[in-house]
Amino acid sequence: MVIRRMTRFRTKVLWSIMPMILALCVLFGGMSLYQHNRLLHREFVKQGKALASNLAASGELGVFSEDERFLNASLRGITGEEDVAYVFIYNDAGKRLIGGGRTLTQPGSALTTEPLSDDIRTRILATHQPVSRTLKGTGSESFLEFYAPILSAEVRLIEEQFFGMPRSDRGLGENRTRVIGIARVGLSMRNIDAHSAYLIKLWAMLSIVFLAAGAIAAYALSRMITRPITRLTESAARMAEGQIDQEIPVDSRDEIGTLATTYNQMAKALKRTLDERTRVATELRDLNRNLEDRIRERTSQLRHLHQLGVSMQEPLPLSERLNLILKGVHEVIGFDRIIIWLPDREDLSLEMVAAVGFSSAPGTVQVPISDEVPTLARAYRDRVEIVIEERHEVPPELRVQPPHDKVPALRSRSFVVLPLISRRRSVGVLAADNAVSRKPIAPQLDLLRIFASQAAVAIENAQLFQEVEETNRQLARASRHKSEFLANMSHELRTPLNAILGFTELIIDEIYGKVPDELREPIEDIHTNGRHLLRLINDVLDLSKIEAGHMQLNLGEYSVQSFIDSVISATRSLAVEKRLELISRVEEGLPAAVSDSKRIIQILMNLVGNAIKFTPSGGSVIVTAKRVSSSEFRVSSLEPETRNPKPETSKIPDFLEVSVADTGIGIPTEELKSIFGEFSQVDSSITREYGGSGLGLSIAKRLVEMHGGSIWAESQVGKGSIFYFRIPLRTQWDDSP
């Protein structure tokens, strides 16, 4: 295994060195090839330009005279060059005058008939400058072409005539030359390509040689590195098998030797650590065993405390509940005696309300919250924890003063007193002691604190619950008295009011004689306000009946169309008076409904009356009635707050939905939830301007709910409101309990 690992390491060394050698070969070889080819190409171009310039200079006379002898003489010195593939001379019109070279003699050569490119001819005629290009020949051979203008001039500059340099822009002969022909020289790139291929082969061979040499050197280096590491690894493997006392031989003073020395030191330290670890493991095993026992014990105690906390929520009287809980705590925590003290209503004394651990019932014990019983007083008032162990004497300032020192519940030399705190307020005191067993208190103190916090919350919740129950009883009694008072008052007020209304009607009808004009208007105002007061009294009486559970529904079958028409007829005069359009729309084929028609008319009269009241002149009020299937909506679970039997809405297939839409002042969205409350108005200005008691919608809501229905509203300020109520089309009572 060790040899295999060392082989892998040598392989990694080889694979880490070889790519670097290969990269260096590629880099330097590529750069050398690039520079060499670049230099060779530059010399090749320079040679081509020089040959084209010489041909242009020597061919001037031949082109000018178009004499083949002069032209052949010009070609003869160039076609003999090794790299020259072909040579052509053209006149300024692009006509080929003569050509030569080895390529022209090859069969199928396209150069024998290829004309001069118009683009090149135009450029040379315009610029008088030489032009070069690369041309792909037949097969794999490529050519580098050079075009030079053949100039005719009266005056020839020395540098242009003898050195083939371009014409100067200044000096003698300026602007007196013209192009009379074009010299074309094609150099074959066969030799350059062959030379490049040779260099590539040479580079490849040298790279292989360098790679082989690098591989040999890397292998030798890896063996030199891995040999001492192999010995080190074999020794470490034996050490891993448990032979810790075996040392690794140190043969050198280099880094490997330093590593071996360090490894030997580590082995000695490891042996000491293992010995210490064995000792610690033995101790930890014993500690874990003890800890597991304590965890099981504490878990059991916490489970019992949780169960006791749940028991604190049971609906029992407070003292009975606390005594029951203390018995469980006594078994779990293990104190000899546990007592709970609670303050009286005046917060002047503490009373023992629950106790456990006494041989006989301690009876009713009450002590003052004063320095006479300092332990209880300080824990309750200052919310501090007091712990006294038997080995310590009770401080004088904490000793119970006569006559309370004779109370058995206060006599102990080993005790703890904990304040019962809930929401930063003392609600009582928990005292526990080991007066009999004389056990230490500290081990069980944490559990006692947990129980004290739970007991404090339970005590406060129980006290709050008692207060809430008492408050609810008082509120229910006050509400009942209010309802009875309103009902009695309404009856007492309605009897004389009816008499007043009757007499005013007789006076208005002039039963008792002619009424003077100056008295008629005041009497009519008395009659109008009296009827308004009677309606208010009737509303209060209805609300009182509903709250007291005395309102009964008289179910009967009636036509929806007829009760809609009756409401429209009753309110049409009000609509005409305010110049409002009052419209009714009843769905065709609507069957007869079963409910209390009188109460349904009362609901609709209230809604239509409100719509007319709050709609300015020129507006409209639309009353719509239709049948709605129960599958189209979710039946409201809201039940009326009465003692009447509840309609069984869950089995009703169809409902009657009535809506009253107006173009009135509208209601703000945030006020929609409160408009169905008793004596509720959107704001006081509406009451002053439009009047009303605020009971109509509240009564309508309760009457709808008594039918097992629901009522709601949609509104936009300045655009109007729509009030809906939905009741079962045929109400049926569910008399089951």
**Measured between alpha carbons, how far is 44 from 61 in angstroms, rounded to an integer?**
28
Judge whether 173 and 83 are in contact, CB under 8 Å.
no
The secondary element (H helix, E strand) that includes residue 558 is strand 556-558
CA distance 265 to 260: 9
Ramachandran quadrant class, 211 (left: phi over 0; alpha: psi -120 to 50; beta: rest): alpha
Residues 6+ apart with CB under 8 A from 293: none
Q: Is-cis flag, bond preceding 403, omega within 30?
A: yes
**pTM (2 decimals)?**
0.39
**pLDDT tier, 170 (very low <50, low <70, confident <90, very high otherwise):** very low
DSSP state of 115: P
Count the Cβ atoms, other than its own, within 10 Å of residue 542: 19
Strand partners of residue 658: 625, 725
User: Residues near 578 by Cβ (< 8 Å), separated by ≥ 6?
Assistant: 612, 615, 616, 617
With cut-offs at 50, 70 and 90, classify the pLDDT of residue 173: very low
CA distance 656 to 80: 119
Using the structure block, give the residue that is written with the tokens 């300032």.
397
CATH fold of 47-195 reads Beta-Lactamase (3.30.450)
Measure CA 142 to chain center. Answer: 69
Cα–Cα distances in angstroms (integers) from residue 610 to residues 695, 705, 706, in the given order: 12, 20, 22
- In this predicted structure, which of 104-118, 606-620, 648-662 has the lowest mean pLDDT? 104-118
The β-bridge relationship of strands 177-188 and 556-558 is: unpaired
Q: Count Cβ neighbours within 10 Å for each residue of 133-168 and write b for 16 or more, e otherwise.
A: eeeebeeeeebbbbbbbbbbeeebbeebeeebeebe
pLDDT at 4 over 80: no
pLDDT at 303: 67
First to last CA, the chain: 87
pLDDT for the residue 632: 55
Query: What's the pLDDT tens digit per position in 688-729?
Result: 445 555 678 888 898 899 888 999 999 999 899 999 999 998
Instruction: Reply yes or no on whether the pLDDT at 17 is more than 90.
Output: no
Looking at the DSSP assignment, which residues form a beta bridge with residue 626? 657
pLDDT tens per residue across span 576-590: 989 999 999 999 989
pLDDT at 153 (0 to 100)? 64
Whole-number percent of the chain with pLDDT over 90: 10
How high does pLDDT run on average in the chain? Answer: 76
Closest CA to 505 of 524, 490, 519: 524
Structure tokens given for 405: 């020192």
Two domains, one topology: 315-470 and 552-728 = no
Structure token pair of residue 404: 């309370």
Three-state DSSP state, 183: strand
**Which among 598, 607, 659 has a CA at the least distance from the CA of 628?**
659
Task: Provide the angle, in degrees to the nearest 10, between the axes of the packed helices 517-548 and 445-508.
Answer: 150
* Nearest CA-CA partner of 410 in 358, 453, 455, 451: 358
Can you give the residue ranges of every domain in the chain? Answer: 47-195, 315-470, 552-728
Q: Which of 57-61, 194-198, 405-409 has the lowest mean pLDDT?
A: 405-409
Tell me the mean pLDDT in the region 648-663. 79
| Dist CA 722 CA 702 (whole Å) | 19
pLDDT at 579: 93
Selection from 343-357, 395-409, 478-492, 562-576 with the highest mean pLDDT: 562-576
Domain 315-470: give its CATH architecture.
2-Layer Sandwich (3.30)
Of 3.65.10.10, 3.30.360.10, 3.20.20.70, 3.30.565.10, the CATH number of 552-728 is 3.30.565.10
What's the pLDDT at 134?
Answer: 82
Please check the confidence at residue 550 and state whether its pLDDT lies above 60: yes
CB atoms within 10 A of CB 67: 13
For residue 428, is pLDDT > 70? yes
Please report the pLDDT score of residue 642 as a whole number.
37
Q: CA-to-CA distance for 717 and 668, rounded, in angstroms?
A: 6
Q: How confident is the model at residue 494 (pLDDT cuts 50, 70, 90)?
A: low
